Amino acid sequence: MVVRMLLGIRRFRLESGPKGTGSSMTTRSTPHSTEQKTRQFSFLGGDPSIDFVNTVDEMLGDSPIDQLESYGDLLDWSEQASLICTDIIASLQEAAQECERDSERVLRQARLFRSHLRDVLTSFVEDRPPEARDLKAITAYARKAAAHSRLDCCGDGFAWVLDEASGCELDWPIWELARAAVALLTSDSLNRLRRCANETCGWLFIDQSRNHSRRWCDMSSCGNRAKARRNYARQTAKRKTKQG
Band (pLDDT 50/70/90 cuts) for residue 165 is confident
CATH of the domain at 173: 1.10.3300
User: Could you tell me which residue, 8 or 39, shows the higher pLDDT?
Assistant: 39
100 is a domain residue: yes
Q: Is residue 16 part of a domain?
A: no
Q: What pLDDT is stored for residue 221 in this prediction?
A: 73
Question: Is residue 201 in some structural domain?
Answer: yes
- Name the domain count of the chain: 1
| Domain-located, residue 96 | yes
Orientation angle between helical segments 86-98 and 172-185, nearest 10 degrees: 130
4 lies in some domain: no
81 located within any domain: yes
Range(s) of the domain holding residue 168: 25-213
What is the residue-wise DSSP string for 49-99? HHHHHTTEETTTSSS-EES--SHHHHHHHHHHTTSS-HHHHHHHHHHHHH-
**0.85 cut: is pTM over it?**
no
List Cβ<8 Å contacts ≥24 apart for 232-235: none
So what's the pLDDT on residue 154? 84
Query: Mean pLDDT highest for which of 27-41, 59-73, 159-173?
Result: 59-73
Residue 137 placed within a domain: yes
Q: What mean pLDDT do residues 47-59 have?
A: 96
- Mean pLDDT across 217-242: 60
Is residue 67 assigned to a domain?
yes
